[in-house]
Amino acid sequence: MAGIFGTDGVRSRINTGPMRAEFIVRLALAAGEYFIVKNDSYHKSTKPIVVIGKDTRLSGYMLESALVSGFTSIGMDCRLTGPIPSAGVAYLTHSLRAELGVMISASHNPHFDNGIKLFGPDGFKLEDDIELEISNLLQGSISLAKPESLGRARRMIDSVARYVEFSKAKFSPQLSLDSVKIVVDCANGAAYKTAPETLRELGAHVIPISVEPDGLNINAKCGATSPQNLASEVKAHNADIGIALDGDGDRLILCDERGELHDGDSVLAVLALEMHRSETLSGPVVGTFMTNLGLERFFQENNIPFSRSNVGDRYILESLKRDGGNLGGEPSGHILLPEITKCGDGLIAALKILELLVKNQKTASALLHLFTPIPQKLVNLSNIDNAVLQKDTVKNEVEKIKNNLGDRGRILLRPSGTEPVIRIMVEAEEEVLVDKTINELSKILKKN
């Protein structure tokens, strides 16, 4: 983490901490100062540009206005996209040769949270050292633009269409979705227009659900974090496949024609095997410490190189860049294809799966069932200070449990980088052992 930034930008409950209007103005000033000075934009013939996108949260209007106030007062022109996935902001930032891209979103969190994700001129999320410099600039004095040098703000009326065309171009022109019936759950979020439109224009019969955002229903019992309704709709409509995205469209969970759900590990297995067979896979596939042991064993059986990173798509990307890889992901549904798109993109990942579905003429269940996951459960404990994980008594008790598990399972305890909770992950070959271990760990953390 770097200064005010967590594992995925700045995030908090709205009107608290960094998600207050006055703080966001200050953040825009600091980010603008960094990119204007670093890129020597004072000497450009045109004003530096910042692309600002958002999801469908009610608070997005407030934060968008605060960002515009900060950026224009330091002399940057703002291009406002309206609701669009994070990957759309990444794409447009690079396409428009902007100095900076900003996505207003708390991703999979409820409506009362919001966040800020920053993208550099290359379209990739900012690296830790840049976020730290921006955090430091927040603490000092920032010079504002002269009256004649203020920036301007205007809305992009074609942002959705541009991103739809970008997405369509990533689907093989030799293939068609004419015969495929798809249920797509957009989580009442940023992809509520782009995902159904892209799939329709590629020929699919699309049944969109959770595409009526009201500012408060984003991720509410829908989307990638609650895909049970998707499974019901797939079966009710006799669809070939179901696609669930999250609030900002960077996660993907799939549902096969039988109503069975498949997480990011299943998607990673399918893409990795295809890329390995076609000799287009570079470097090791990168998962995280949450990646299922069953997937790791599948990669070993198929001689596919694999490595683990810390949890979070930014850390996956760092590993991919370091090792020259071109595929990574995590069970939550973040799939990274850096040669195709600049950040996690649920729609693009889904299109790659749909290509294989059509090309191989398989059912979704046959395509997605490549390995048997080891029983794994994730529990979130709230209202517990993260410092408990650093206590010697807790460390000792956890170590005893790990030793008792031995080779039969894995334990991961960590504070969330996006929510005020401690996450407990337990994986073991017997489900009874998983439940028993989670109960023991929960008791240890709660009593300390």
At 280-332, the pLDDT tens digits run: 999 999 999 999 999 999 999 999 999 999 988 889 999 999 999 999 999 99
Compute the distance between CA of residue 109 and CA of residue 418 in angstroms, rounded to an integer. Answer: 8
CA distance 168 to 165: 5
When the pLDDT of each residue in the chain is averaged and rounded to a whole number, the result is 93
Element (H, E) at 184: strand 181-185
Above 60 in pLDDT, residue 2?
no
251 three-state secondary structure: strand
Burial, 360: exposed, middle or buried (Cβ in 10 Å; 0-12, 13-18, 19+)? exposed
Taking Cα atoms as reference points, which of 255, 265, 252 lies closest to residue 291?
265
In 2-121, alpha helices (H):
21-38, 60-74, 86-95
Backbone angles phi, psi at 120, to 5 degrees: -80, 180
Tokens of residue 143, six digits: 């010079």
Q: How far apart are CA 201 and CA 296, in angstroms?
A: 36
> Cβ(247)–Cβ(55) under 8 Å?
yes
The whole model's pTM is what? 0.90
Per residue in 392-436, pLDDT tens? 888 899 899 988 888 788 898 988 766 778 989 999 988 899 999
* Contact in structure between 444 and 392 (CB atoms under 8 Å): no
Residue 63 in tokens: 């934060």
pLDDT for 43 equals 52
**pLDDT over 60 at 42, yes or no:** no
At 40, the pLDDT band (50, 70, 90 cuts) reads low
| pLDDT for res 219 | 98
The top-scoring range by mean pLDDT among 203-207, 373-377, 406-410 is: 203-207
Of the pLDDT bands very low, low, confident and very high (cuts 50, 70, 90), residue 39 is low
Would you state the pLDDT for residue 1?
Answer: 42
pLDDT band per the 50, 70, 90 thresholds, residue 5 = confident
Residue 382 CA to chain centroid, in angstroms? 22
Residue 55 to residue 70: CA distance in whole angstroms = 20
- Degrees to nearest 5, angle at CA 347 with 341 and 352: 75
Q: Pairing between strand 205-209 and 181-185?
A: parallel
Instruction: Give the mean model confidence (pLDDT) for residues 34-56.
Output: 81
Residues 6+ apart with CB under 8 A from 413: 389, 398, 422, 423, 424, 425, 441, 445
Amino acid at 407: D
Domains of the chain (ranges plus CATH)? 10-158 (3.40.120.10), 177-368 (3.40.120.10), 376-447 (3.30.310.50)
Backbone dihedral region of 123: left (phi > 0), alpha (psi from -120 to 50 degrees) or beta? left
Question: Which of the residues are catalytic?
Answer: 107
Q: What are φ and ψ of residue 170, in 5° steps?
A: -90, -5
What's the pLDDT tens digit per position in 121-175? 999 999 888 999 999 999 989 999 999 999 999 999 999 999 999 999 999 999 9
Alpha carbon of residue 283 to chain centroid = 22
Per-residue pLDDT, averaged over 164-191, amounts to: 97
Which residue from 445, 423, 186, 166 is spatially nearest to 312, judged by alpha carbons?
423
